[in-house]
Structure 1
Amino acid sequence: MLVNLGDITTERSDHANTTVWVAEVLRSRIAAGELPPGTKLSEQQLAASMQVSRNTLREAFTMLSIESVVTRFPHRGVFVSAPDAAAVREIYRVRRMLEPAAVLWGAELDLERLEAVIAQARNAKARGDVAEMAAANQAFHESLIAMSGSLQLQQMMGRVLAEMRLVFHAMSAQPDFHTRYVEENAGLVELLRNGRRAEAADVLRGYLDAAEAELLEHLGA
C-alpha cells in the first residue's frame, strides 16, 4: 500500500544530525498511527517533503530497519513493518524490564499527566474510538517511562512504542483489547497516588504478561 504522506511539518530547527532527525520524524508518525503496517515509504516523495537527500533518507531507513520499524525488500522498496510473534515477544521482553522499574524507582512522578491521559482514554472509550484508545494507551506507557527522568530510556521507549503501534493494528478488529486497559491503567494511577509503588510494579508486570499472551494468541503463535 502506498499512501500520500503529505508535507512534513515537524520542526527541524537546528538538529545536529539530519539522519537522526529524519528517523525521529518517521518513527513518531509510525508511533502516532499515521503510517500503518504495509505502507510503502516513497524515497522521492519523502526526500522532497523533508528537504533532504536520498542518501540521508536511506541512512534513516537503515536505522529504522535495525529497530524493526521498517523492512526493505529488494527491488520493491521500503515498507512499514508488520510485526510477527517473535517481534511481539521481544517488545514485551523490553517492556517488562523498563516499565515496572520506572514505576518502582522513578523519581519524577507526574500524576497530573497520567490522570490527563486516563481522561483522554475514558472519553475515547465512551465514543467507541479504538484508535484514540490505542493512542492514549501509548501515551500512558510513555508517561510511565518519563517517570525515570532518563532521556535515553525515553528514547528507547519511543522506539518500542513505534513498533508497538504496528502490533496494535493487528488488534484493530478487537476493540475490547484496548477497552479493558483503560481502567487497568486507572488502577495503576490509583496505586501510585497512594504510594503503593511495589504493588503497582507487580500489577504492571501481570498486565504486560496478559497483553502479550492475548496478542500472541491473536497472531496464532
Structure 2
Amino acid sequence: MAEQLTGLAGDRALLGRTSTAERVSDILRSRIAEGYFPPGTRLSEDGIGGALGVSRNTLREAFRLLTHERLLVHELNRGVFVRVLAVEDVEDIYRTRALVECAVVRGLGEPPYALDGLASAVTEGQVAAAENDWKTVGTANIHFHRELVALAGSERTDELMRSVFAELRLAFHVVDDPRRLHEPYLARNRQILEVLRAGDRGGAERLLATYLADSLERVVEVYRRRVGESGQGAG
C-alpha cells in the first residue's frame, strides 16, 4: 500500500484549488481501471486522503460515489474495498453491453460515419500487441467500444457506459492470461471498423452481437476458474 500511496500522491496536482469529491472519484476511478488498486484491495481513508491532500469528508463522498457506480463496496466494521465481481455481475455487464452497443450500431444514420476514434483504438491495440503489452491491449479494446458507443452522440449513453466499462475492467483484472483473453478481438475490432466504413450497419451489428457473446463466454470461463460461483457480488 505504501508504494501505491506514493504514486497516488502524484495525482494531487490534478485536484488544484477546486478539489471536489467528483474530481477525487475521477482519479480513483482511473486508478482502479488501471489495476493500481486491484479487486479486493482495502482503501485506506488516512493514506489516500493524505496522498491527495483532501479532507476525510471529501474522500468519503468520493467513496460513496464510486460505491454507487459499483466499483467499491463498504463492509461494516472492515472498511471500503475495491469490488470483486461475481459471475452474475459479469453476465449482467455483458447483457447491458449487448443491449446498448448493438442498439447504437442499429440506430446509426446514413453513412459515412465518424470513425476516427474507432480507427485510433484499433491502431492502439495493434501497437500494444506488437509490444507484447496485453494489459494495454485490453485498455485499447475498451477504448474501441467506448468510441463505438460515442457514435450515438448521446452524453447520457456515454455516461451510462462509462460506469459499465469501469466495472468490466474489474473483471479483466482477475484474468491470469490477458493475451488469451484480448488477442482474438484485435482482428474482430478491425473487421467491425471495416464493415462500418463500408456503410453496412446491419453487418456490423451482427458481428458485434457475435463478438459480445463470444467474449462473455470467454470471460465467464476464466472468471469461474479464478473467482468461482461464490465470488463477492454487490456486498
* Greater displacement, 109-118 / 93-102: 109-118
Distance 1:93 1:131, change over 3 A: same
SS at structure 1 position matched to 2:37: coil
Aligned to 2:207: 203
* TM superposition outliers: structure 1 runs of 4+ over 6 Å: none
Q: CA deviation at 1:210?
A: 1.1
Aligned to 1:181: 185
Q: How does 1:28-67 map to 2 (within 5 A)?
A: 28-67=30-69
Aligned to 2:136: 132
Counterparts of 1:133 and 1:25, CA distance in 2: 21
Query: Percent identity among equivalent residues?
Result: 35
Q: CA deviation at 1:166?
A: 0.9
Which of 14, 25, 39 is the matching residue for 1:11?
14
SS at structure 2 position matched to 1:34: coil
Aligned to 1:162: 166
Counterparts of 1:124 and 1:103, CA distance in 2: 26
Counterparts of 1:4 and 1:215, CA distance in 2: 27
Which of 85, 97, 100 is the matching residue for 1:98?
100
Paired amino acid for 1:95: R
Asked whether the 8 Å contact 1:10–1:25 carries over to 2, the reply is no
Asked whether the 8 Å contact 2:33–2:166 carries over to 1, the reply is yes
Distance 1:142 1:44, change over 3 A: same
Question: What is the number of equivalent residue pairs in this alignment?
Answer: 220
SS at structure 1 position matched to 2:183: helix
Asked whether the 8 Å contact 1:2–1:40 carries over to 2, the reply is no
Asked whether the 8 Å contact 2:12–2:53 carries over to 1, the reply is no
1:77-125, Cα deviation, whole Å (9 max, x unpaired): 2111121101101111111111112222246943222112111111221
SS at structure 1 position matched to 2:88: helix
Asked whether the 8 Å contact 1:99–1:144 carries over to 2, the reply is yes
Counterparts of 1:93 and 1:4, CA distance in 2: 34
Q: CA deviation at 1:38?
A: 2.2
SS at structure 2 position matched to 1:57: helix
Counterparts of 1:10 and 1:68, CA distance in 2: 26
Q: CA deviation at 1:39?
A: 2.4
Distance 1:10 1:91, change over 3 A: farther
Q: CA deviation at 1:162?
A: 1.0
Query: Unaligned regions of 5+ residues in structure 2, if any?
Result: 230-235
TM-score, normalised on structure 1? 0.89
Aligned to 2:121: 117
Q: CA deviation at 1:32?
A: 3.2
TM-score, normalised on structure 2? 0.84
Counterparts of 1:139 and 1:173, CA distance in 2: 20
For the aligned residues, what is the CA RMSD? 2.3
Q: CA deviation at 1:156?
A: 1.4
Which of 74, 89, 99 is the matching residue for 1:72?
74
Paired amino acid for 1:136: A
Counterparts of 2:218 and 2:105, CA distance in 1: 23
SS at structure 2 position matched to 1:4: helix
Distance 1:9 1:190, change over 3 A: farther
* Greater displacement, 107-116 / 41-50: 107-116
